[in-house]
Amino acid sequence: MDKETVIERTMYVEASPKTIWRALTEPELTKLYMDGWMIRTNWKRGRPVMWEERVGNDVVQRAKGTLMASLPAHRLRFTQLALDSGLPDTPDSYTMVDISMEEEPDGRTLVKLWHGDFAGLPNDVRRAREAGRRWVEALVGLKRVAEEEEGPRAA
C-alpha cells in the first residue's frame, strides 16, 4: 500500500481500554469530539454503522458503513463513506477504519488507528491527507474525553 493513501496514527491515553471503548461507541460521548456526530449501530458484525448529527430538530446522516469487528475494549473496525464526499455509494468508494487498544504495563493505553486505503479513489492522496487531519483532531478529542471520563486516574 502507498503510504500517501493510508493513515496510521498512534497515541497514548491515560485511561483504560474500557473507558476508551465507551468514548468510541457511546453516541453521547462521540459527539463531544466528532464535530457533533454520534455513532449508531447495533454492534453486530456485518450490520450498518451510521454517523448522525442533530441539527435543530432534525437528525442528519453524515457517514455510513458496515461494522466489521467489535471486540469491546480491544478493537473496532468498520467501513466508512462520508456522505458529503461526492463519491457514489458503491463498495469501491468505502474505506476501512481499524482502531485497536492495548493496555500498557504503566496503566496507559496505546491507541492505534489505521484508515485506508484511499488508493483508486479520485484525488486519493488529497482525500487521505484531509482524513488524516480530521483524525488528528478526533484522536486529540478522544483522548480528552476518555481521560475526563476516567476521572482522577488521568490527573
pLDDT at 29 over 70: yes
pLDDT at 13 over 90: yes
Find the CATH number of the domain harbouring 37. 3.30.530.20
* Kind of pairing between the strands at 48-55 and 37-40: antiparallel
Number of domains, the chain: 1
Q: Please, are residues 103 and 88 in contact by the beta-carbon 8 Å criterion?
A: no
Question: Per residue in 103-155, pLDDT tens?
Answer: 999 999 999 999 999 999 999 999 999 999 999 999 999 999 999 999 865 44
Q: Please, are residues 153 and 19 in contact by the beta-carbon 8 Å criterion?
A: no
Q: Exposed/middle/buried for 55, CB within 10 Å: 0-12, 13-18, 19+?
A: exposed
Question: What pLDDT was estimated at residue 35?
Answer: 87
Distance between CA atoms of residues 136 and 147, nearest Å? 17
Question: What pLDDT was estimated at residue 152?
Answer: 64
> What does the pLDDT average to over 15-27?
96
pLDDT at 91 over 50: yes
Question: What pLDDT was estimated at residue 3?
Answer: 84
Question: Per residue in 50-88, pLDDT tens?
Answer: 999 999 999 999 999 999 999 999 999 999 999 999 999
Question: What pLDDT was estimated at residue 151?
Answer: 80
Question: What pLDDT was estimated at residue 154?
Answer: 46
Put the strands of the sheet holding 75-82 in their side by side order.
7-13, 109-116, 95-103, 75-82, 58-71, 48-55, 37-40
Distance of CA 10 to the CA centre of its chain: 13
Question: What pLDDT was estimated at residue 51?
Answer: 96
Q: Which domain holds residue 60?
A: 3-154
φ, ψ for residue 118, nearest 5 deg: -85, -10
Its pTM stands at 0.91
Q: Please, are residues 133 and 147 in contact by the beta-carbon 8 Å criterion?
A: no
Question: What pLDDT was estimated at residue 1?
Answer: 57
Residue 55's alpha-carbon distances to 35, 62, 133, in angstroms, are 12, 11, 24
